[in-house]
Structures are given as C-alpha cells and as structure tokens.
Amino acid sequence: MKVVNLKQAILQAWKERWSDYQWAINMKRFFPRGATWDILNLAEALLEQAMIGPSPNPLILSYLKYAISSQVMTLPACCLPFDDFSRDLCVQSLLEIMDMFCDRLSCHGKAEECIGLCRALMSALNWLLRCAAFYTEKVKETLEQAAAESQLKMCLERLEKMLSSTKNRALIHIAKLEETSSWSTVEQSLIKLGENLNSLSNSPLRSQADDCVSLIKSIPTMLSVHSEQLNKTGFPTVHAVVLLEGTMNLTGETQPLVEQLMMVKRMQRIPSPLFVLEIWKACFVGLIESPEGTEELKWTAFTFLKIPQVLVKLKKYPQGEKVS
C-alpha cells in the first residue's frame, strides 16, 4: 500500500481543480482494497480543509458530498469533527449534508460496520443537540436574534427528520446499549438544550424543540414498551396453523393456508403487523427446531419459497384491513 498524506492529497486536488469524479478515482488508488474511508479519517481530513475559512470551500465540500452519495463513507461521520457553531455558513452546509442521510440510512456490511453506523448516528444526534443548544443561547442576543432563529429552525428541522423515523431511533437505541458513556453525553446535551428552551419566546420553534426532546427521551424505553406489547398479545393459533402446514403439507397449494390464516386473523382480530410477525416467528421456530439434513432443507424451502407467496395472497385478500 502506498502511504499518502491525506492533507497533501486534498490540497493537490484543490490546486489542480479536480472534479469530484476525478478526485474519487485518484483517491481510490491510494487506499487498500476493502478499507472504508472512515477508518482512514477521510471525512475529518476533508472537513478540516473545507471549513478553514468563514465559509466552506465549495470544491472540497463537493468531494465530501460525492463520498457520501457513493456510500464509501458512513454518512454521519461528515459532521462530527466540526464544533465551531459560530460560523453560520459552515453550519448551514453541514445541515444540508444531513439531508443526504436522515431518511435513507442503510448498512449492508459486516456486523461491526452496522454497529459503527449506530454509533455514528448517535454522535450525529449529539452534534445536532449541541448545535440547537448553541443557537437557543444565541437567540437571547437581541442584535442576532433573527439570524439565530433561522439557524435554529434549520437545525431543529434536521433533528425532527432524524427522530421521526422509528428505524433511526432504534439504531440510536442500539448505540445506547453499546456505549452508555456516549449516551450520557447525549443526555448532558439534552439537559443544556432544555435549560435554554425556557427563555425561547418563539412558540413554533419551542414546540418543535419540545417534540424532539420528547422523542429522544422515549428512546431508552423503546425495547421495554415493545416487549410489554408483545407479552400482552400472543397468538398460538397462528403458530399451530403454520407449523402444521410446514410439517404435513409442505408442497400443497397455498390457497387453503391463506384461507385458514385469514379465518384466524378475523376471529382473533389480530392487527396486521402482529399477524405477519407471528407467521414469520412460527416459520423460524420450525426452521430452528428441525433436525439437520432433509427436514432442515424442507423448512428452509417452506419459509423462503412458500410463505412469501402466502403473504402476497394475504395482502391481496379482499378485506377491510390489508396485511402490511
């Protein structure tokens, strides 16, 4: 592997006015195959060079955006090293970059990479909270009140967008379980924001901030709430129907099974999401408990070939409430 100074490489790209595509090609030559650019601190190096002045360097910022859109860099990593919130234009650029990932986070890598994404998302949450706390404090200054409210509005919009996704909150919950010390930092930022909210006179902004605070405070209880719901709602009949079909009628027509399941659903008034969940749970129980060899292969085929067809027919089944 050729050792390269990231700072020198970025400055060379800027001096020679490389396009974002040309920059990506040249940078890939320097890195070992299979290495993620986050490990090499590329986001931090790009951010350092892009944010040197009072306003961001548009060319270097385009390199950062290209890396994010190409999914060669975990998305929240782009903002975390920057904490000079007094530079409004730089903060605006980073908040706009937040729009690139708030509603489309995904991880198709190894388990440690997925955990890394959870941690990065929690760090991004903390960054947004610190940003919001800074501008709520700045709103108190009469001369800069309008500008501070505008910046706060942008920050709260991204915070609300991130937290409105149940998936994002679940990822943050995973990160909380992995790193309790980092979650403590989030709680401290939350306390600071709450203290500053008391003096915020703008009602819409205060209401928006209160909603975000409530969502964050609900994250630690997500698992217990769902556990309570699942404990209160057990549907063994669904399990019995599915397990019987997988054991006795593996290759039969799907329609009779659809009819039986729909009858159970209607009689027990099972909500559609829980209904689908119970079907999958029954399949995986059968798969786990089947002995290795032919039986395991049969259950695998039943779970991943027959059941998807059954679910499609259930979704199309004429009814008042569709299976989602």
Per-residue pLDDT of the chain (324 residues; tens, 9 = 90+): 344 567 777 888 888 888 888 877 777 776 655 555 544 567 777 777 788 877 888 888 888 787 777 666 655 555 556 777 888 888 888 888 887 766 666 666 666 767 877 888 888 899 999 999 998 888 877 677 888 888 889 999 999 988 888 888 888 898 898 888 889 999 999 998 888 887 787 778 888 889 999 999 988 887 665 554 555 557 888 999 999 898 888 788 899 999 999 999 988 888 888 899 999 999 998 888 888 888 888 889 999 999 999 999 998 887 654 444
On whether the CB atoms of residues 174 and 118 are closer than 8 A, the answer is: yes
Nearest Cα to 49, choosing from 40, 33, 60?
Answer: 60
**Residue 142 has what DSSP assignment?**
G
Residue 147 contacts residue 88 (beta carbons within 8 Å): yes
Contacts 24+ apart (CB under 8 A), 45-52: 45/6, 45/7, 45/10, 46/10, 46/78, 47/78, 47/79, 47/81, 47/82, 48/7, 48/81, 49/7, 49/10, 49/11, 49/14, 50/93, 51/82, 51/84, 51/87, 51/90
Angle at 314 between CA 310 and CA 317, to 5 degrees: 135
- pTM of the full structure: 0.64
